[in-house]
Amino acid sequence: MRKNKLPDNLLKGYVFLLITTILWSAGGPVIKYTLSYIPPFTFLFLRFLIVCIILLPYTIYEVQKVKVDPRDYLNLFLLGVFSQSAIALIFVALKYTTVIDDATIGVLGSILSVAAGSYFYNEKISKNLKIGLVLSSIGTLIIVIEPLFTGLGKTEITGRIFGNILLLLYNFFWVVFIVWSKMDMGEESKLLKKTLSFVHIKPMRKNYPPTLITAISMFVGLFTIAPLSVFEMTGTFGEINNFNIMEIDPKGIFGLLYMAIFSSIVAYALYQKAISMVRVSDLAFFHYLSPVFTIPFAYLLLKEIPTPLVIIGSVFIAIGIYIAEKNGSD
C-alpha cells in the first residue's frame, strides 16, 4: 500500500488546475481563429461584456453579503488589471505570433512563478522539482528557437519578436497576480508585505471568496478595455475598423462565447479555488502542460502542424512535469 497518498484538498486542487489548463490551452487557438472575424480590443470588450452580464446578479448579491471594505478597492482593482486587463497583450500579440509561441512563453512565465513562490513564500524547491524545472525549461527553449529553423522572412520574424515581447510582458503581470492573490487569500508573506509597502499598498483587510475576486476582476477588465475598443473602432490606432456587431460570422460567435464562458467564468473560478489549495510551484507545473494541449487545438482550428523540434520540446516538458510531480517522494 502506498504511504504517499495525496491529501483530498491537494488532489482536488490538481483536478481544478488540469481542467483550467485544458480550457486555457484551447484559448490561444480560439483567440487567433476568432481574430479573423473580430478585431482584438473589440473582441476582448465583448468577451468581458458577456461575462459581466452573466455574473452581475451574483456579484451584486455577493458584494452585499460580504460587504467589501472600501480600503480594499485598490487591491481588487489592481488584481483585475493584472489578471484581466493585461489579457489585451495576448489578443494583440496573437495578431503577429503563433499560438505555439504563446503557449511556450507561458511556460517561461511559470518558471517565474516558481522563483517568485520560493522568494516570497519560502516554498522549498526539492531535488525532483529542480530536475523537472530544468527539463521543462529545455523543452521550452527548444520550441522557442524552432522558428529560426523554418526559413521565415525578415518581416515575419520581426512580427513574431514583437508579439513575443508582448507575451513576456503579460506573463510578468500574471506572476504578480498569482503571488499577490495568495497573500490576499490569507497566505502569510512578510517579504511581500514589505515590498508592497514601498508603493504604499497594504494587504487586503478581509479575505474574499475566490469567485467574488474573479467576478470583480472581470468588471475591471470591462471598464479598462472599453476605451481601447472605442479607439480601435474610430481609427485612433491607425485605421478605422469596419467591424459590425450585427454581421458577426457564426464562427466568430463561437469563439466569442467560448472565451466568455469556458475560458473566463469556468476557468478563472476553478483557478482561483486551486490557488488556495496548492503551492505556487504546483501552479507553474500545470502551466507546463499548456504547449502539450495547445498543439492539437492549434492543428484543429488553424492547421498549425508541429515540427519535429516542437514535438521533442513537448516531450521534454512532459517528462519534466512527471518528475516534478514525484516531489513528495524524495
DSSP assignments along 295-327, one per residue = HHHHHHHH-PPPPHHHHHHHHHHHHHHHHHTTG
For residues 25 and 22, give the distance between their C-alpha atoms in angstroms, rounded to a whole number: 5
Confidence of residue 322 (pLDDT cuts 50, 70, 90): confident
Tell me which of 153 and 103 has the higher pLDDT.
103
**Residues 6+ positions from 152 with CB-CB distance below 8 Å:** 160
* Dihedral pair phi/psi, residue 70, rounded to 5°: -55, -30
Give me the amino acid identity at 244: N
* Dihedral pair phi/psi, residue 57, rounded to 5°: -60, -45
Tell me which of 291 and 298 has the higher pLDDT.
298
| Chain centroid, CA 159 distance in Å | 22
Long-range contacts formed by 193-197: CB under 8 A, 24+ apart: 195/120
Average model confidence (pLDDT) across the chain: 80
Name the residue among 129, 145, 165 with its Cα closest to residue 312.
145
What angle is formed at CA 222 by the lines to CA 220 and CA 226, rounded to 5 degrees? Answer: 125
Give me the amino acid identity at 207: N
For residues 302 and 273, give the distance between their C-alpha atoms in angstroms, rounded to a whole number: 32
Q: What is the mean pLDDT of residues 237-260?
A: 81
The C-alpha cell that represents 195 in the structure block? 515590498
What angle is formed at CA 177 by the lines to CA 164 and CA 11, rounded to 5 degrees? Answer: 105
Side-chain-side CA neighbours of 106 within 13 Å: the count stands at 26
Q: Residue 226: is its pLDDT beyond 70? A: yes
Give me the amino acid identity at 159: G
DSSP at 94: T
Confidence of residue 209 (pLDDT cuts 50, 70, 90): confident
Q: What is the mean pLDDT of residues 90-96?
A: 89
> 255-290 pLDDT, tens per residue?
999 999 999 888 878 887 887 787 766 776 677 778
Q: What is the mean pLDDT of residues 158-171?
A: 83
Indicate the range of 80-89, 102-111, 221-230 predicted with least confidence. 102-111
What does the chain come to in residues? Answer: 330
* Burial (0-12, 13-18, 19+ Cβ within 10 Å), 12: middle
Indicate the range of 27-36, 78-87, 121-130 predicted with least confidence. 121-130
Give me the amino acid identity at 31: I
Confidence of residue 3 (pLDDT cuts 50, 70, 90): very low
Confidence of residue 294 (pLDDT cuts 50, 70, 90): confident
Q: Are 184 and 75 in contact (CB under 8 A)?
A: yes
Side-chain-side CA neighbours of 26 within 13 Å: the count stands at 19
**C-alpha to C-alpha distances, 103 to 23, 240, 279, 317, nearest whole angstrom:** 13, 31, 21, 12
Top mean pLDDT of 7-16, 66-75, 127-136 is at 66-75
For residues 157 and 96, give the distance between their C-alpha atoms in angstroms, rounded to a whole number: 9
Question: Which percentage of the chain shows pLDDT scores above 70?
Answer: 82
Q: Residue 158: is its pLDDT beyond 90? A: no
For residues 313 and 139, give the distance between their C-alpha atoms in angstroms, rounded to a whole number: 4
Q: Residue 6: is its pLDDT beyond 70? A: no
What angle is formed at CA 122 by the lines to CA 289 and CA 78, rounded to 5 degrees? Answer: 70
Indicate the range of 49-53, 252-256, 284-288 predicted with least confidence. 284-288
* Confidence at residue 4, expressed as pLDDT on a 0 to 100 scale: 53
